[in-house]
Chain A
Amino acid sequence: MDFTYCEFPCTVSLDTFKAYFNPNDVKLPKISGKSLLSSQPGLADAAGSNNNECQTNQVKSLRHLVLDAIVENWSEVPLYEQLPRHEDRNYILSQLDVELPLELLSAHISDDYFWERSFQQRWRSATMQLRGRERPWINIYMERHLQEFIENMQTGDYEPEGNVQTTLDICAAYINQLEINQLQPAPPGSDTNDHIPLDYLLANLPDLQRLRLSYCTKTAGCNYQLGCNQLSSRDIALLAKGLSQCHELRSFCIHNTKLAPYQLRLFAHCLDKGCHHLNALSLMHCAIGDAGIRSFMENCTKESFATLTMLDLTNNRITEEGAYILSRTLQHVPLQHLVLRLNPIQSDGAAAIFNTLQVMPIKVLDLGSCSITESITKLFMLLMCQHKTLLEIDLSNNCLGEDFGKHLLKVLGLNKILEHLDLRNTGMSMDMRHKFKTFLLKNVERKKHEALKKMQREKFMAMMQL
């Protein structure tokens, strides 16, 4: 097959193409970035020479000349929608310069293929997309663009009416998730530690659903000064203001940033009032402490965080007191995923959490490295016997001992739901852990079998109905 003359439609996926044609037999137009073979270096080398020869020996058609002219003058005369034929459009998409001004490109082109090409050319790496959950490449591109824009902005460069507004004009419509891994610290010599204000930015992203934020710095170098990894009072006020206008926010994560109790109170207030669809809340490595937990929970009522299903409080210096406060407040939250890793809550705190789990539809519980001792044995056995929704429990790095394992071996047969139980570094032998694993594997297989049976039954019912 010879595809040299007709522009190979970029809407056809590689797999589809491979299913129908053998790549060795077909001649493809050797266009920059458009070749199928670029993804397979070995084949590209083998077939490249042939294709190149073909190209050099042939005179370009008039159509191609015209299209080339269009591409060259595209910055002055952006023609894309006006072209009626899809072949021409494909050609333009494959030939257009990705270095052109972003506002021009974003205004005229929304094709997935072009933006994928732009992304690959700009960052030299393509992120993998989960199969079945593909997102438009323009969104990914714009998110990465905005992320770099924010991460690299010096505090002095911030102009809400100028550069920020222009960037927002280009990007805002495409931003669904934003991941900010660092912020530039204030320049040395200034009085305060203020970072760039995020209120205007956040308030102008109407479709923002996932926000991952860190106020730490990674490239401070000689400019390091005390507190440049922390939020100042102005920062937290502006962040809270911005967050309270992110009405579509589903998932919020702030990590590696020290948070004082008063800041947590502001967080609680703005997240409760502004984000009505909040599903997941992560405050990792934030050194919140019991006081922070208390001040956070003080601002919560029974109705607040009614949609929250995931709470991650990894490494926050929470002790048994904080765990107790947490357990008391979480009774009204339909949590499915709770992480309390690296918090020394000890057995008492774990007991309080277990007590609360009885009224929660929880599925995943992470209590790794929580300084739990074997005094929790009885309560944990009770939990194993009674709880009907737990799928995963992580108890690694707790001093539980052999007796705990023996007791658990007796009880584990009663639980038919649990799938994973992490007991590494808990003072149990490998054999015992292996036994647990086989038990849990049986659970998994039974569930799989039941699901299969159910599917078959449904199929059968559907057939009967037919």
Chain B
Amino acid sequence: MEDEEDFELDSNAVDEGSDGGEEEEQIELEAEALDSWSSFHERIDALLENEHCEKPVRKLDERRKNTLERVREQFRTAPKSIADRARSQKNQIEQQLELSSTRLGELMRFGDELVTNIRVANERRELDRLAFESSQQTKMAVNLHRESMQTMAKFSNIKSRWTELNEINEPMALWEQIEDQKKRIGEIMESKDEMIAACQREIDRMNAKYEYDCERQAADLSCLVERVDHQVETLKDAYKQHLQMLRHTIEDERQLFAITSVEKWRSFFDALNTNFEEKTDFLKTRERFYAAQTHLITESQEELTKSTRIRLEKECERLELELRRTRDNVLMNSEKLDYNYQVLQKRNDENVIINNQQKRRVARLHEAVVRMRHKLVSINQTGKQTIKRLSTDIYKLHASINDMESKAHATRLANKEKFDRMWEMNYTELMVLVNRVFEIDRILHEQQLAIPWQKVEVDTTDINPMPPRRHNNIMEQFRRRAGKPSKNRPIVKVKAHEPDVKELPIETVRLMHNLMRKLADRGGFLIEERLIKILEPYSEEDQCLVRIDNIFAALRIRRLRDVEQLTRIFMPFTYCPNCQPAGLSPQKCAEVFMHDRKHSRYLKLADVEHHEHYAEPDSMISIADGRKCDKHYLVMEPALILHALNKFTKEMHKRLYLTPVDPHVHEINYIQVTDETIRTFWRKFSACFPQSKRRLWKILEHGLNHYVDVLKLRQEYDAEVERLRLQNVELGHLLQKYLV
């Protein structure tokens, strides 16, 4: 059984085939379709032939005809059916291939079925066998079961009998019983034997079946092998045949193709030939026509050429002449041009050289520029350094100048002192000498001459009066030496007169009232902000007061004189609302401003000189204003207040810091007397005594000198006498001694 299955598996591997040969009709659907179309047309034509109808019917019939015509046209022009197209597209080889594949496929299928039929039959048999075997088996099993049940019952019967036998003592009875038992056992054995025989039979049957099956299998196998071989052969044949057919079709196709292509080629060739002939004919005729045409044209052309030749010859001569002339010209020009060209070339060369030179120069200049730049930078640096150094030098020099100035000042002071001292000494000496001269003269007169002496009048007034002796204040001296003004000087001046409010002029008081208010209102920027906050709860009057106080403190107005000054400055900006209801005229304003401007410029030009004069224009204006209105309060434009204030502060500043220079300037010229005065002063004394007196003195001197000499000689003689006396005494002594 199992071998059979193996065999089947093997059979699958073997090529399959079929008897083949029989060719089925191929139903050609496409042909059918075509048939149907043709029948359709026929039907329509048949319908159209019925012409015996009435007019409306005919009309209708015509319309129908038309539509039919259209439909037919559509059918004709419409593309053929898909199958038709496919067939027309395919060539013969493909068709043959398709045919072969279908045929061979059929063959294959048939052979396959033929071969597998054996397997199916085999399986059928196996199925049947299985069913039969299973039924047989169950039957046998049932039989066995039944038999065993029976025998078991019998066996139990026998077994139960054995116990009964035990009770029997009679040998005969026992024997009989045993015989019975034997019989029964024999029955059982028989039935068992039967069963065994049945089983044996069954086995025999199965063996026989197996044998039979084996035989049949062998037969099947041989059949299968046969079929397979047969199929293989037939398939081989079929394939060969189809291959041959295919080859034939390919050959046919090739030949057909060759024929068609040859035909095609020939037709092309013929067409080409005929075409060529036609073309040549046409060309010939055209050629002839063209020849005639050219002949005509040449004739006319000749005529034309003759006439033109004559004309052209004339022209030629003329042109030759012209040509000659132009040639000369050209020669000239060419020479000129050559010359020019050479000149230009040379110039060009020169230019090139010059260019190069220029370039070189430019390069050099560039270098120089660079160098100069470097230099400039270095010079700049050095200049800066020198400037720095010089500035430091200047600072130093300034310092030394200051030093020198202070030194000069000191030396000047010392000089002055020395001078004064010298002067004083000389002067006293002079006075002493004069007095002595007078004394001597008096004595001379009185004693020598015994003439009453009359005093000669000599002017001895001192041209360098001694300054009053100062307090020996060391600080003062020191300050003076340092060249600074002493502080207490202006104060002393101020203290000189004690002013009072009541002393102020009336317009000042009036103006001040107004001014105070305005200042208090406008001059908020001079007051500290905190103060304004603090002042808030107070009354108007108090606020005003405090504010004014603060503003005055800020402006440094401490004295009544300052108030006066303030008024003086504010005056030009005021006007009387009663007399001048239009307020301050713009011209006036401009005047005020311009004046202020000028004034400031003037200030700058010469501070010191201006100082004595600065009050004059102001006062003039103020006087003019004051004259304008005496009995009314003066009013001021609020806008001008700040301007005025500014001016005031400037003036105050000037007064504070510029005025103290004056005294210092004065003190520089300590020695007021010049050399000439001194010389005259002293020369005056050389001639203060009259000539007669001087001659008298001379003569007197001479006489007295003579007298002195005489006296001197007398004295000498006195002294010699004395000495000689003394010598005598001594010599007397000595003589005595020797005598002794």
Residues of A within 8 A of B (CB): 216, 256, 284-285, 314-315, 341-342, 344, 368-369, 371, 396-397, 422, 424-425, 437
Contacts and interface: CB of A to CB of B under 8 A. Distances in A.
A216 B1 CA distance: 14
B638 to A, nearest CB: 99
B127 interface: yes
A397 B2 contact: no
Contact of A368 (B109, B113, B123): B123
A341 B2 contact: no
Given A342-B126, A369-B127, A397-B127, A284 B5 contact: yes
Interface residues of B, number: 14
A371 B120 contact: no
Interface in B108-130: 109, 113, 116-117, 120-121, 123-124, 126-127, 130
Q: Which 4 A-B pairs have the closest CB atoms?
A: A369-B123, A424-B120, A369-B127, A396-B120
7 contacts: A216-B2, A368-B120, A369-B124, A369-B127, A397-B123, A422-B120, A425-B124
Contact of A341 (B6, B117, B123): B123
A342 B119 CA distance: 12
A443 B337 CA distance: 104
A285 B5 CA distance: 9
B5 A314 contact: yes
Contacts of B123: 341-342, 368-369, 396-397
Contacts of B121: 425
A183 B126 CA distance: 27
A424 B5 contact: no
Interface of B: 2, 5-6, 109, 113, 116-117, 120-121, 123-124, 126-127, 130
Contacts of B113: 424
B5 A397 contact: no
Most-contacted residue by chain B among A342, A371, A397, A425 (CB, 10 A): A397
Nearest to B102: A445
Nearest to B125: A397
A315 B9 CA distance: 14
Contacts of A424: 113, 117, 120
Contacts of A422: 116, 120
Contacts of A397: 120, 123-124, 127
A455 to B, nearest CB: 14
B5 A315 contact: yes
B124 A256 contact: no
Given A341-B123, A397-B124, 11 more contacts: A285-B5, A315-B5, A342-B126, A342-B127, A369-B123, A369-B126, A396-B120, A397-B120, A422-B120, A424-B117, A425-B124
A451 B334 CA distance: 93
A425 B124 CA distance: 8
B600 to A, nearest CB: 100
B367 to A, nearest CB: 72
Contacts of B6: 256
B127 A371 contact: yes
Nearest to B24: A438
A49 B113 CA distance: 47
A437 B113 CA distance: 12
A371 B128 CA distance: 10
Contacts of B109: 437
Contacts of B120: 368, 396-397, 422, 424-425
B278 to A, nearest CB: 42
Most-contacted residue by chain A among B117, B120, B124 (CB, 10 A): B120
A285 B127 contact: no
Given A396-B120, A397-B120, A425-B120, A256 B126 contact: no
Contacts of A315: 5
A358 B632 CA distance: 131
Contacts of A284: 5
Contacts of B124: 369, 397, 425
B220 to A, nearest CB: 15
Contacts of B2: 216, 256, 285
A396 B118 CA distance: 12
Contacts of A371: 127
A189 to B, nearest CB: 27
A128 B123 CA distance: 29
A284 B2 CA distance: 10
Nearest to B106: A441
Contacts of A344: 130
B27 to A, nearest CB: 10
Contacts of B127: 342, 369, 371, 397
Contacts of A342: 123, 126-127
B715 to A, nearest CB: 172
